[in-house]
Each structure stands twice: as structure tokens, then as C-alpha cells.
Chain A
Amino acid sequence: MNNIKWAVLDTMTVAKRNLIKYTRSPQLIIFATIQPVMFLLLFNYVFGGAIRLPENIDSYIIYLLPGIIVQTVLFGSTQGVIAMNQDVNSGLIDRFRSLPMSRVAVVFARVLADSVRNAFVIALMVIVGIMLGFEFVNGVGNGMIALLIALLFSFTFSWISVCIGLFAKDAETAQSAGFIWVFPLAFASSIFVPVQTMPTWLQGFAENQPVSLASNVVRGFAVSGDTSDLVPLLVWLFGIMFFFMILAVRMYNRSSS
């Protein structure tokens, strides 16, 4: 019982520090605010006229926003890679590991802080989206469920970032290794365009990978009402979360230096 109490308190202590760090580093603020909004505007106005929309959706912003929220939290989770890696390379992790604190707190704090940041980004995107004409066609209640699913997706993928951040040898590796795997997931997905517009060999991947499923489910709750991908999505998310959570805790506790 005492262990759990300290795990929670230590996580809060380190998460607080992580959040202070985010607010004090300008490039992260830009990454969390200006960049997603810029993407939203660019995709909406550049691709908006060119894309064949599914029949029940009548404007591109309504199709785009749920997907781009998923894309943003996916890219946002890579910021966690760099932050985690900085702590490894600065020796701060060694200090934490030499303290009589909880052995799970540092990695949980990283994911928690990233989730708080992503929640903020999601709220910002919704506000800008509404200004561009977005509405929760499926009702505000379902819209909130959609946003919670986006947050769960963010929480899950942050665990992958933590592992890459702990594993990478230096900042450059963290930067590229943290980013490279998200591109195929983000673009070969239903985030920006319906999967049916892709070549058939790509469709199999694009339909079943977790980013597409997440964007379908978020879009389903927020807009279209089609939430048939919810179960496979949750299987993916809990599978990834379980695997990378255990891996992250083990990597943190592993003896190295």
C-alpha cells in the first residue's frame, strides 16, 4: 500500500517538473501550439478541395479534424522521446535511480506529463477546428468520448516514446529514431484521406493499423457514428501499452551507464 502511495506521489513530483520544463522551453511550446494549428490550416485549405469525401460527410474540416487530432498526438508523443533522452544523457536519470524513490515514477511521470500536454493540444485543435466550421455532428457527449479515445491513444503511444528515449544513445539518434516510425503510420492511414483512395496493396496495412483505427473511431464518435473499429483499436492500444509499459519500467531499472 505504501509503495503505491509513494509511486503516485513520486510520479506527481517528477511530472510537475516535466511540465515546468515544457513551459520553459520555447521550441516545445511551438511544437505543441503553432505547428498543429498550421497543419490543420494547410491540410484544410490545400487538400480540402481535392479529396473525395465519404457520402455522409459534407465538409473536409469535419472529416479532417478527428484524424488530425490523432496525427497531432502521434507526432506530439515523439517530443517525449527527446525529453526522456535528455534526462538520460544529462545524468539526471542516474540521480533519480540513486534516490530512494519509486522505481516506476520516472517513466510514468514522463507519460503523464505528455498526456497533459496532449490534452491541452487537443483542446486547442478543437477550438481552432470549430472556428473553421467543425461541429460534433454526432452530439457533444459522443464528441467528448472521441476526445478521451484520442487521449488514450496518446497515452499508449507515449510508452513507445519513453522506450526509444531510454534506448537511444544520443540526442541525434533520439531525434531521428523518435520520428521515423511515425511517418508511415501517420500517412498510410485514414487520417487525411479515405483508405479506399490508396492502391490496393497499401489498403490492407492502412485499414488495420492502429493509427487508422484510432482515427476511424475518433471520427466515428465525433462525426459519423460508425464506431465499428472500437474493439480492434482497444486490442491494439492495450497490447501496445502493456508491452511498452513493462519494457519501459525494465529499461529504467536495468543496470547500465
Chain B
Amino acid sequence: MSKIIVQMKDITVDFGDIKALDKLSLKIQKGEVVGLLGPNGAGKTTAVNVLATLLKPTSGSASVNGFDVEGEGHNVREQIGLAGQYAAVDPTLSGRQNLEMVGRLYHLGRNESKKRAIEILRQITLEDAADKPVRTYSGGMRRRLDLGASLMYTPKVLFLDEPTTGLDPKTRRDMWKAIRDMVGQGVTVLLTTQYLEEADELADRIILIDEGRVIAEGTSNELKRQLRGDVLEIEITDAKNLIHAVKALESSSKFKAKPEVDEALQTIRLAVENGVDDLQAALSVLKTKKVEVVHVNLSQPSLDDVFLELTGKKPEGEEKGDE
């Protein structure tokens, strides 16, 4: 039986003239891992802050496990764990001291806090550094500690606000593993990220937001299917011909989408609806214009394409291109 555990209804948050959230509504079922994906400034952190009772919405209502975030803030705080984008741990304390402090503030007893801290340190593989000041930790270690702190008291809902922003690819993968290991225990998770790969990797369901509104929602496959058709990539022999080729394709009535040009790779990308037919048509158009083609590729759109199509913005992601 499915049960809605997190709900936002028409939440609007104004910061002066700026609408950080604009009637945002979403529902999360118990046990789901949901990725809240969007470009910088889309309102992801604002949404988490409303749910974590850190921020009062201008209008609308939201609840966590049946408790209202405004009227029953204290109850909400008993249901949640929050790991933030700025690794909110105390750099002067040791990892262990940080965890024990958070345990005490969750009102676990002294012994229970100590015991739980030992368990968590093992899970986040920080046993060796447990008694060193956090100031000496690497970025990845801090994030893992931050994640661990949010799980000192097994929360019903875990909010992970950009858990890997700013980490290098290797550390990011370690963090994903830590998240998967920790979260495989039936905890409901709302994860915000600007990395498509991260949402694809961790989330059962993706909610794409931009400018404070939900613009698409579904599994990553469902989102990809929203972009009907395929992507055609054509590599041309030299830069001069690139312009000819683009003009030729633009003037042909067969293709509705505007071709995209990557000059460095001398490649044209074109969204097409009829796969192989369009591939043949494109090649014959280019042949009549005497443009020599080096390589052709027809593929399914990536989440990047979905993102670009729906938000008009390029997603973040330092890793693309060298994979």
C-alpha cells in the first residue's frame, strides 16, 4: 500500500521581488527516492528549506508524515534528517564529537549517542579519522560525516540538498555509494541535484523544476520518452562545409527541429522524429550539396537533452565529454 509521506501544495516563496517558488506542488510516497532536479536558482534548496521548517512559505501548505510544516514544526523536525550542501559539521570538533552532539540533540541518551556514533562512523568509513578534528578532513569526508549526522536518529524522511556539489568525480561516486548503502533501509529520500547523472543514478523518480515550478516529472525513462524521436549526429569533414550543411538541413522541409552545431567536433546534432527515414533523408540532402560526411550516429536522447529541451538551459556537469 502506498502512502504519501511528503506533500507540498501550491507553495510560493517570495524573496522581495523574486519568486523562488511559484505554486510548487509535489507528492512523495513512503520509501521513494525522489530526485529534485533543476538548474542553479531553480528553487531546489528553497523547497527543501520549506520542508525542513527552515523557511516559512509565503503561501501554500506542506506536510511531512502528516505534520504541517508551519503549525507542527517540532513534530516535523522529529521526522526528518537534513544533509545540506555546505556540510554543516563543526570543523573544530572531531567526527565522533560531531555525531555524538547531534545524537544528544536528537535526545538520544549519552550511551545511545555513543553507540550510534560508532555504528555510523563504520558505515561512512570514517573510523580511522573518528577522533581527528573535522578541519583536517577532505571535502568528501566532510560530506560523508554530514550525511552520517543526518542519520544519527533514523529519520522517516531524509533531505539531501546537493550532496555532491563541488566534489570531484571519484569522490562523488564514493558519496553515491555511501548514500545508497545508508538509504537502503526504507528511508524516504528527497535529493536535490543539478547533476542529471546523479538523479539518474540514485532516484526512482525525477521531478524537474525550473524557476520555482515543476516542469516535468517521471522516471528517467519516462522523461526521455517525452522527447519523442531520436537524436541524429552528423560529423562533417571540415568547418567550411559545416555552414553549408546546416543551411541545407534548415531549408529542408523534412526537419522541424533546428540543427545544433558543435564547431569543435565539426558535428551537427538534430532531433528527428522518424529515425532511419530521417537519417537517409539528411544524408541525401547533404549529398546533393556535396558535403562530405565522416560519421553518422542515431541515438536516443539523453537526460541532458530532456533538460535542455524543457528548461532551455544547459545542465551543470563537469564530467560530461570525458566519459
B143 CB to closest chain A CB (Å) equals 12
Q: B49's contact among A21, A24, A257, by CB below 8 Å, is which?
A: A257
CB of B54 within 8 A of CB of A99, answer no
Return chain B residues, CB-CB under 8 Å to A24. Answer: 92, 133
Chain B residues closer than 8 Å to A13, beta-carbon distance: 101, 104-105
Interface residues of A in 1-31 (CB under 8 A from B): 6, 9-10, 13-14, 17, 20-21, 24-25
Which A residues touch B97, using CB under 8 A? 17, 20
Q: Which residues of the other chain, B, contact A91 by a CB distance below 8 angstroms? A: 84, 86-88
Distance in Å: Cβ of B197 to nearest Cβ of chain A: 25
- B82 and A98 within 8 A (CB): yes
Q: Are B90 and A21 in contact (CB under 8 A)?
A: yes
- Given contacts A255-B55, A257-B49, whether A95 and B93 have CB atoms under 8 Å apart is no
State which size class the interface on B falls in.
20 to 34
CA distance A46 to B74 in the complex (A): 57
A21-B93, A257-B49 are known contacts. Are A99 and B106 too (CB-CB below 8 A)? yes
B54 touches A98 (CB 8 A): yes
In the bound assembly, the distance between CA atoms of A91 and B142 in angstroms comes to 13
A14-B77 Cα distance, complex, nearest whole Å = 18
CB of B107 closer than 8 Å to a CB of A: yes
A100 touches B106 (CB 8 A): yes
B residues less than 8 Å from A98 (CB atoms): 52-54, 77, 80, 82
B269 at interface, CB cutoff 8 A = no
Beta-carbon contact of A100 and B78 below 8 Å: yes
Does the CB pair A96–B105 fall under 8 Å? yes
Interface membership of A56, Cβ < 8 A: no
Give chain B's interface residues, CB within 8 Å of chain A.
Answer: 45, 49, 52-56, 74, 77-78, 80, 82, 84, 86-93, 97, 101-102, 104-107, 133, 149
27 pairs, CB–CB < 8 Å, chain A vs chain B? A9-B104, A10-B104, A13-B105, A14-B101, A14-B105, A17-B93, A20-B93, A21-B90, A24-B133, A90-B90, A90-B91, A92-B88, A94-B82, A94-B88, A95-B84, A95-B88, A97-B54, A98-B54, A98-B77, A98-B82, A99-B105, A100-B78, A100-B106, A255-B54, A255-B55, A256-B55, A257-B49
A sample of 11 more A-B contacts (CB under 8 A), given A14-B105, A94-B88, A101-B105, is A10-B105, A13-B105, A20-B93, A92-B89, A94-B84, A95-B149, A96-B105, A99-B77, A99-B102, A100-B78, A257-B45
Closest 6 CB pairs of A and B: A91-B88, A91-B86, A255-B56, A95-B88, A100-B77, A98-B82
